[in-house]
Structure 1
Amino acid sequence: MADQDDNRTAEVGSPDADQEETVEVPLLRLADGLPPVIETDEALASYCAAVAAGSGPIAIDAERASGYRYSSRAYLIQVKRTGAGIGLIDPIAFDDLRPLQEAFGDAEWILHAATQDLPCLGEVGLRPASLFDTELAGRLLNYPRVGLATLVETLIGVQMLKEHSAVDWSTRPLPDPWLEYAALDVEVLVELRQILVDQLTEAGKLDWARQEFDHVRAFEPSPRKDAWRRTSGMHKVRGRRSLAAVKTLWEARDELAAERDVTPGRLIPDSAIVAAASALPKDRGALMGTQGFHGRGASRYAKIWLRAIEDAQALPEDQLPTRNGRSDGPPVPRAWADKDPVAARRLEQARASIAELAEQHDLPPENLLTPDHLRRTMWTPPATREPVALLEAVIDQLSALGSRSWQVGLTAPALTRAILDADD
């Protein structure tokens, strides 16, 4: 890290005005300079040996080409360990990264927002034996903003520049400024972890954090059900036939994007899907005159878009999608009062109790108990109303949903009271 005094400047107002000194936060710098990218077997073996001989936890991060590529694969992996320094590894250059996994051994990983990176790291054979998530730690400590740059500035007192956060990491070769930006993401993670550990310990939340980290370590992304329903602007579409066109256009675009490994929005944007589904153009001229249909993706694949619209037009009435998809969960809370007034009372009281508990323990309510777990338990509570048996059943139900033991211990009594009071 660069010497802070060398990077600190002051801004002073004019002599005629009330003077107030503004001290700029120093910029984070790489303490040992920018290392070369590891892209050969020899370079990887050398760095793996250094990592294995190093000490302490391992800071790790990955860069994906979100917004450019369909896949979520890692295009750069950054690693730092005491004694080994920073390694910038190009995963595209290797068949697998088993040597790196072996070098990691049982060492704890430090990640920020682990669920974002664990899937792409797992794809190349990298899986942690244990981890520490600095973002999640920040949430448990109830920091209002938990982005890495904000936590580093707040707790370490240096500023991280984020000007390369949205670049195309599938670019080769990667420019040095991008690589420096990526390396900085692991430069102070070990230091940040220690500060957060100390604060979690002082707050009596370290065991809670460990339970959360163990839960995150087993994270597997769930495939989205009816993902086409997330099309932006779909609420503007009228009629089930047009709704079917949204579905067929979205699915055609998704299949093509996967085939070409480009992000779907680079073929045609959501706004074009919504416009075409509403207008239902029948030929190329009408299609290209539809709002949003411009650019190479719209023109080059016009036949695909027209065929998708034709498929929607040909669907029998009983196969047209409904406005609201089927769900295995409870209805939206705003509908509870009409569908089940008692359940609505349960939810209202339970939410108030969770908010109170969260304030007592200085936690965001959603980290005290997952909102989905709360809604499911209040919509379909255990049948018994004998207090002790009900408490045990609520504990079992929350545990089966995936709530951690610390969450269950804090919230199950409050949910039990909400169930009993709502029935009175």
Structure 2
Amino acid sequence: MSTEPLPEPEAGAAPDAEGPPSVPLLAPRDGLPPVIDTPEAVAGYAEALRAGSGPVAVDAERASGYRYGQRAYLVQLRRAGAGTGLVDPIPLADLSAVQDAIAGEEWVLHAANQDLPCLAEIGLVPERVFDTELAARLAGLPRVGLAAVVESLLGYSLVKGHSAADWSTRPLPEEWLVYAALDVEVLVDLRDALAALLDEQGKTEWARQEFAAVLAAGPPPPRQDPWRRTSGVHGLRSRRQLGMLRALWEARDDLARRRDVAPGRVLPDAAMVSAVQADPQTESALLELPVFRGRANRRLVGTWFGALTRGRALPEAELPLHSRPGDGPPPVNRWADRDPAAAARLQAARKGLSALSEEHAVPVENLLSPDLVRRLMWTPPEPRDAATVAAALRAGGAREWQVGLTADLLADACSRA
């Protein structure tokens, strides 16, 4: 594969439907670097990163859909003066040299909240970030995927195709490594273009606050009742069926964790729901169902039937409720019947936020968390003035730029009878 540098588009040029075609990025400009998979190679690249300058582009590849969890199977970094590093964290017990070299620098990531948890698992934690996906949202770009933003602002086209690959594969194919290297090839240039756009729009401080909030959020908390996210669960009508599904989900999750395999590859969601609905009374009856006839599940029939039996035998008091009790307001489609005044408040709030969204070219969900808006309109603070509403917004995690934009209109909405 050729690694010759590609011609660059004119600085500041942004292609459009009638303009020149974007320049395809097919290979890293500096050539494809070797995978860093030894302590010696890590130490050498860490020194190069330390001697480099400017922000550090960072990306990570996981094996979602193939492996259990969200572990990083490849980490890509790039910094001016250091070049691109493709780090295989699997054989490496210690990446502290990389962390020490760049901890205080600005890390540039696309959709940082997706990669930060798996990076933290291997000891890579930034102090400052620039999230190009979030910046693109604040800047009002119509499409915020990496390839779309790169093409829009830099005039390059990234060939996508391996994002859903099994990155736990070893050795990693060369074409996958090229794809991974190209993802950080232009991240710093993209950061600069977005920073200029945000500055032009007067949104630099908004972005700073948003990036700080991404870091402050930390890893997501464990989901409550994760089995309720099973695809097709809404087709189950009784609490007994829900108890059987929960037992089957837990058996699958335990097996998937021990095997380090994505749960859906152990047993599809649809198969679990079908088994619960069929309610087989014997192992033989379970084996008659689709999916369970396969060789792998024939060997595991005792595991699956045992789980169904446990769920079937649960005392009534231990069966799960139809829905998990929450601390928030009811579904919006019930507001008009349960509290017409709250429904009117929410309608007014949504109308005002929609106008603000259009005025500032920022998606409504980035202006303010929709969940926070619903909570505020369902149970307004007292007194219903801008100062009290602003305090409630801050307590709910809103950033100062959001409070400044929305407190007055939300206070007005709260006052609706």
TM-score normalized by the length of structure 1: 0.92
The corresponding residue for 2:313 is: 314
- CA distance, structure 1, for counterparts of residue 291 and residue 20 of structure 2: 47
For residues 225 and 135 of structure 2, the distance between their equivalents in structure 1, rounded to whole angstroms, comes to 33
Q: Which moved more, 1:230-239 or 1:88-97?
A: 230-239
- Spell out the pairing of 1:328-407 with structure 2 (5 A cutoff): 328-385=327-384, 390-407=385-402
- Match status 1:25 vs 2:29: no
Name 2:260's counterpart in structure 1: 261
| In 2, Cα distance between equivalents of 1:171 and 1:282 | 40
**Residues 33, 247 of structure 1: CA spacing in aligned structure 2 closer, same or farther, 3 A cutoff?**
same
Residues 26-65 of structure 1: CA distance to partner in whole angstroms, max 9, x if unpaired?
Answer: 3113110100001111111111111000000000000111
Alignment of 1:21-100 (within 5 A): 24-28=21-25, 29-100=27-98
TM-score (norm 2): 0.94
Stretch of structure 1 that moved more, 350-359 or 284-293 = 284-293
Number of residues paired by the alignment?
A: 404
Opposite residue 72 of structure 1, the aligned amino acid is Q
Contact 1:275 1:292 in 2 (8 A): no
Equivalent residue, structure 1, for 2:14: none
In 2: Cα distance, 1:331 partner to 1:55 partner: 51
Bigger RCO of structures 1 and 2 (CA < 8 A, at least 6 apart): 2
Corresponding residue number in structure 2 for 1:275? 274
Q: Would the aligned equivalents of 1:268 and 1:297 in 2 still touch at CA under 8 Å?
A: no
Quote the residue 1:132 is aligned against.
130
RMSD: 1.6
The SS at the match of 1:218 is helix
Structure 2 unaligned spans of 5+: 10-16
Listed as ranges, the matches of 1:141-290 within 5 Å are: 141-219=139-217, 220-290=219-289
Q: Which amino acid aligns with 1:26?
A: V
Name 2:410's counterpart in structure 1: 415
Q: Does the 8 A contact of 2:103 with 2:125 survive in 1? A: no
Note if contact 1:266-1:297 (Cα within 8 Å) is conserved in structure 2.
no
295 and 155 in structure 1: CA distance in 2 versus 1, 3 angstrom threshold: farther
Query: Which letter maps to 1:3?
Result: P
Instruction: Give CA deviations for 1:246-267 in whole Å, capped at 9, x if unaligned.
Output: 1111121112111111100001
Give me the whole-angstrom Cα distance separating, in 2, the residues matched to 1:98 and 1:21.
49
CA distance in 2, matches of 1:131, 1:59: 10
1:264-314 per-residue CA deviation (whole Å, 9 max, x = no partner) reads 000110100110110111222211212332435422321111111111111
1:101 aligns with 2:99: yes
Deviation digits for residues 183-202 of structure 1 (CA, Å, limit 9, x no counterpart):
01000001000000000000
The Cα shift of 1:121 comes to 0.4
Give the counterpart letter for 1:313 in structure 2. R
Q: Which amino acid aligns with 1:221?
A: P
Q: Tell me how far 1:222 sits from its aligned partner.
A: 2.0
SS of residue in 1 equivalent to 2:157: coil
Q: Which residue in the other structure is 1:293 paired with?
A: 292
Q: Structure 2: how far apart are the matches of 1:23 and 1:137?
A: 25
Deviation string for 1:368-398 (max 9, x for gaps)? 011011011111111324xxxx322211111
The runs of 5 or more residues in structure 1 that have no matched partner are 6-19
1:326 matched residue in structure 2: 325
